[in-house]
Structure 1
């Protein structure tokens, strides 16, 4: 069964085609800079175990045009992998915000699209694009099932004491203001991999997703019970350009004493803060280089980044009443051994002890990088959101 997974951003579109239940994709691709000068598409096929890459640049006006380009690559390009759109049994769509309506993968209907539209205000950069791609895919693959997989769904098991804010009840009841959490597809995937690896269904895990966006989740017996991102994806850890947790009084101060508008504040905390605001770049690799050259701001950025993660590990160890394992995943989590070491230092009271050689030699796959005698395991597990989406779509086929 062929399942196409579409993961759309505000100006990008990632896709992978799986012949389920095989984990290795038949092909994958990326459409970048949609609606921006210098747009391009990169399509990689793996037919017969041979990797072949096609790249194409030019104008891509919108996501509809981007999906038309994807269809061409799938069917007519030199690295074509299917004969017609009808070869696709289902199209799985990553949708960022599902509110409280959706707790699992959902067959897309007119009512589901209406619900996604109602949530535009909660994810203004993502849900409109996600809905647009769904509607384009319905036309592009008219005989395929369209299935939505929501980033927020995994966190719908969070208990009320963790998801409610201490503000008047009406703001939750009428306006839906609560913790929703994000990166749920990633946290779900890596936690399930950890449970299998540990062979322990009754488990206490802390999953740490470190990319340009960062979040940390407490997972008990496979269920999310708390997470660092809240009503939106700004709160919690220090990120590439987002501040993470900040005292709301700072916002009031900037409005009252510096004349900031809401738009300026949104830009400041979402796009100008985090590693970029403190250390001068949103890319951890750049921060590492600056720090190695003795740049004090970059060194501080690394210290803040690790400190905030450790702070959440301590908090989540408390609500879990212990930890069986912590999981590092995503771009920084998988590739920055020095950050893993910084996070795990001086956490021996939680049974965490890193094996320096294993940690520095990690090259991929699931790996335990903790000391042999450590009570708590430290796992590095590559995330695979696209395959997780495909798995959930495949499970719906009966």
Structure 2
């Protein structure tokens, strides 16, 4: 297809967007923008692909905040779509459930089903769907495509997908889905681009950010992952607990009198790095702090990551490569070193200078396990998947 695609990545406190020109198989970034601080003082930054600044300002948004934001996006991109008309909007949607394992054109029936999945992603799914509904209101003529974070993990090993609970619940769809799938899709493609030999290796990909997860990957396919039915499980995160003993949850209900709403808020918003440190969910703040609880939170985060990396290696019966990606994985040499030092026993040897320089390969030549940094790009995956759905629809209409 030819034209422009708007890729939208809506979160609970931020909204990222990118505009791409599409000519056949070529995707060219035109604009990138982000709304931050949606729970406090909204701030908008927009830059052209060249780095030229288009906007950098605080916003005063009223009750219709998200609608105002989306209207602003359209105003900003209009001059850039004169010669390449906007063809569709691609949305990152957290959860596709059992029904959707590939991108899909959004309509009423699809939206109704996705609404039923809100309890499985209370931080993200409502924000994702709110943007879809508002775009339909602002531009009802514009096709919209849902691209799912769960889709990459659809074929993980059955032993990894199934929970050891009564079969009657497993058969109803209570299973591990996994998330950060758009990021893992991009990394899998990059591994193939670097070399088919590398892609065939048993790799553990560490998507480390405010939300963190791991994926055991071989031949570009997921074998296992740390997040489960919801994005609450697995690694310790910025404000999310990661996996905890189910008995702990029961004890908090029975002994501390916490309600389901109290537990949800605690496990999603008050736990993780923030909960342990009592200072911040941001590792940069904790690394700069002299407080002992900050050091304890960092140590627990690294312990959690290395323990789960070993479990991913066990799922593949070995490990040949470790890939760091996302905000912490790409940018924190300190955290990468702490993790790699704890993995020396399985053959990880770090090149200190390469790690400090954020080099593509940060393992030493003698390291049995190759360690890489690969910056992720969820938005270009959104654009490509959206263009594919729109192109397939056009071909289908032509054939009819």
Q: TM-score, normalised by structure 1?
A: 0.90
Give yes or no for the alignment of 1:195 onto 2:192.
yes
Two-structure CA RMSD over aligned residues (Å): 2.0
Decide whether aligned partners of structure 1 residues 24 and 374 sit closer, same or farther in structure 2, where only a CA change above 3 A counts.
farther
Write the distance in 2 (CA, Å) between the matches of 1:348 and 1:134. 46
Match of 1:140 among 118, 138, 141: 138
Return the alpha-carbon distance in structure 2 between the equivalents of residues 19 and 138 of structure 1.
22
Count of aligned pairs between the two proteins = 383
Structure 1 residues 71 and 346 mapped into 2: Cα distance closer, same or farther (>3 Å)? closer
> Which residue number corresponds to residue 387 of structure 2?
394
Q: Which residue in 2 is equivalent to 1:284?
A: 283
Counterpart of 1:12 in structure 2 is 14
SS for the counterpart of 1:395 is: helix
> Hey, what does 2:395 align to over in structure 1?
none
Report the CA distance between 1:144 and its aligned residue. 3.5
Change (3 A) 1:3 1:322: same
2:81 paired residue number: 82
- The answer for unaligned runs of 5 or more in structure 2 is 393-400
Q: How far off its partner does 1:143 sit?
A: 4.2
CA distance in 1, matches of 2:104, 2:41: 35
CA distances 1:369-392 after superposition (whole Å, capped 9, x unpaired): 111122221010111110111122
Partners in 2 of 1:164 and 1:149 — Cα distance? Answer: 24
Partner of 2:210: 212
What corresponds to 1:312 in structure 2? 308
Does the 8 Å contact 1:244/1:274 carry over to 2? yes
Q: How does 1:63-142 map to 2 (within 5 A)?
A: 63-75=66-78, 80-83=79-82, 87-142=85-140
Task: Please tell me whether the aligned partners of residues 37 and 59 of structure 1 are also in contact (alpha carbons under 8 angstroms).
Answer: no
Residue 177 of structure 1: aligned partner: 174
1:346 shift after superposition: 4.2
- In structure 2, what is the Cα distance between the partners aligned to 1:171 and 1:226? 21
Secondary structure of the equivalent of 2:71? helix
1:45, 1:81 within 8 Å by CA — same for their partners in 2? no
Q: Does structure 1 retain, via aligned residues, the 8 Å contact 2:19–2:77? A: no
Bigger CA drift: 160-169 or 195-204?
195-204
Aligned to 1:30: 34
Distance 1:160 1:37, change over 3 A: closer
Matched position secondary structure for 2:237? coil
In structure 2, the partner of 1:300 is 296
Deviation at 1:37, TM superposition (A): 5.8
Q: State the 1:352 CA deviation.
A: 1.6
Structure 1: 5+ residue runs without aligned partners? Answer: none
The separation in 1 between residues aligned to 2:48 and 2:108, in whole angstroms, is 34
Which range is displaced more, 329-338 or 186-195? Answer: 186-195
Which aligned runs of 4 or more in structure 1 are off by greater than 6 angstroms? none
| 2:264 is aligned with 1:260 | no
Q: Secondary structure at the match of 1:92?
A: strand
Residue matched to 2:397: none
- CA distance, structure 1, for counterparts of residue 148 and residue 233 of structure 2: 19
TM-score calculated relative to the size of structure 2: 0.90
Question: Which sits farther off after the overlay, 176-185 or 343-352?
Answer: 343-352
Structure 1 residues 83 and 379, CA, compared in 2 at 3 Å: closer, same or farther? same
